[in-house]
Structure 1
Amino acid sequence: MNVANLSIKEIRERLEILDEVPKDFLQYLKEDKRKGVQALVRQVEAVLARQEQLARQWTEMTEYERMLRSKGHVHVFGIDEVGRGPLAGPVVAGAVCLPEDFYLPGLNDSKKLPAATREAFYEVIMRDALAVGIGIVDARRIDEINILAATKEAMRLAIDNAGMMPDACLLDAVQLSGLACEQVPIIGGDGKSVSIAAASIVAKVTRDKMMAEYAAQYPQYGFDKNAGYGTAEHVAAIARFGPTPLHRMTFAGVKEQA
């Protein structure tokens, strides 16, 4: 192929429609001395390097899933929660069972992803997962039983609401009593397992939507911006307006200002 006969615009258009850049085509581009073509080569190589890095990350983050499937476990659930630390709102857990051939490069701990990426990944997970369950425990229940117990209750609810019983569960740090399947608690699991990462995204997007809805009911507290966490503005609003039914009365930031 003589890419010298192609304009830089034509080369760019060809690259845009290719799902994968053939190695021989990339080599032809490298041999083209035009500065514009060399700029395109650098862009392509950066994309390829990023794809390779994400593929390696995916392999690393599916190690636990592959280990459990090698033991005969078909329905491997990832379990995670969001909302342990806020002064207001529920704790929300997600339970997700991904197909063995699922591939979503870049899937990671929800806290490490921009909101737009989280929401896009959420749509893919909800569409392609074998099962998704969500568990929600509100502020009153958190006050009644404490946040750790409420977190575990939300996780059990998420499993129960998935519509499928797990053969094995990967959990972010905690272990659940009375669960009749193998459990693998992983510290920092939402950054080490794609199943837990998927659960963290489902939980995070679900809770953020809830807090945005609560912001319309209680606009003084900025729930759409702080998600119930104890920002200076949020604490000041509690001191000025008092706590809402969404606030956790046993949490220090609320008790001190209420």
Structure 2
Amino acid sequence: MPRLKKQTPTLVEEMALFEQGYSFIAGLDEAGRGCLAGPVVAGAVILPEREDTLELFDGVNDSKKLSPATRDRLYDHIMQHAVSVGVGIGSVDEIDTRNILQATKYAMQLALQQLKPTPQALLLDAIYLPKVPLPQRSIIKGDARSLSIAAASIIAKVTRDRIMVALHQEYPEYGFEQHKGYGTAAHLDALHRHGATPQHRRSFAPVRELFGLFASSENNN
């Protein structure tokens, strides 16, 4: 039985927009939507319109498919060779106040504002930004299909991981350096032993339910 060829991002979506006359196309993606702690981070990347762009960004892929060391290396490469890179952050307060989807869109809008030149069209991973008056293409599993979105996923993931490593120094008992805020068994155990930090998302069920248990306990005393 022949081995399936590993899927790698292409420039098919970008080329279609180039052919329509758009010169600056931004790929966008986020990291941290499913975490219990820490912000949601969005990356926005405009890649150069060159014949050798695929070769120049060889190895860029969905950040989830890459090792931390590879992500770090590609992060530096993207920062050096992309036309422009932007990062936006949706804080824990933003997430709890507006919900995770709206906080993600807010972070993406912030990332777009950092891009120079201003993008003329957007490629996004399964999301749409109604407040951004630009042509947009929302692509299912876009980080595995579009090179621009894949590059943005690396920028978002590495940026967020570095934020969580910094938070580990402040809250070492939670293991943020290891799980980056995701709901692992170790993280849930730390939550039950130590309670929640200001960096935990109280609107997310595991944290909200924990606070409910604490509230009941306090009311019974």
Asked if TM exceeds 0.5, the reply is: yes
Q: Which residue of 1 aligns with 2:214?
A: none
* Count of residue pairs the alignment pairs up: 203
Kindly report the root-mean-square deviation, in angstroms, between the aligned alpha carbons of the 2 structures: 1.4
Residue pairs, 1:76-95, within 5 angstroms: 76-95=25-44
Q: d(CA) in 1 for partners of 2:8 and 2:32?
A: 26
- Secondary structure of residue in 2 paired with 1:132: strand
Q: Which residue of 2 aligns with 1:44?
A: none
Q: d(CA) in 2 for partners of 1:141 and 1:180?
A: 23
Q: Which residue of 2 aligns with 1:241?
A: 194
Q: d(CA) in 1 for partners of 2:169 and 2:200?
A: 15
Q: Which residue of 1 aligns with 2:16?
A: 67
Q: Does 1:139 align with 2:92?
A: yes
- Secondary structure of residue in 2 paired with 1:64: helix
Q: Is the helix fraction higher in 1 or 2?
A: 1
Q: 2:73 aligns with which of 120, 129, 152?
A: 120
Q: Which runs of 5+ in 2 are unaligned?
A: 212-221
Whichever residue aligns with residue 80 of structure 2, its letter is R
Deviation at 1:164, TM superposition (A): 2.8
Deviation at 1:106, TM superposition (A): 2.0
Deviation at 1:255, TM superposition (A): 1.5
Instruction: Name which structure has the greater RCO, CA cutoff 8 Å, separation 6+.
Output: 2
Q: d(CA) in 1 for partners of 2:81 and 2:200?
A: 35
Deviation at 1:57, TM superposition (A): 4.1
CA contact (8 A) 1:134 1:162 kept: no
Whichever residue aligns with residue 164 of structure 1, its letter is P
CA contact (8 A) 2:24 2:46 kept: yes
Q: Does 1:211 align with 2:164?
A: yes
CA contact (8 A) 2:71 2:158 kept: yes
Percent identical among aligned pairs is: 50
Q: d(CA) in 1 for partners of 2:131 and 2:91?
A: 22
Deviation at 1:98, TM superposition (A): 0.5
Q: Which residue of 2 aligns with 1:226?
A: 179
TM-score normalized by the length of structure 1: 0.76
TM-score normalized by the length of structure 2: 0.89
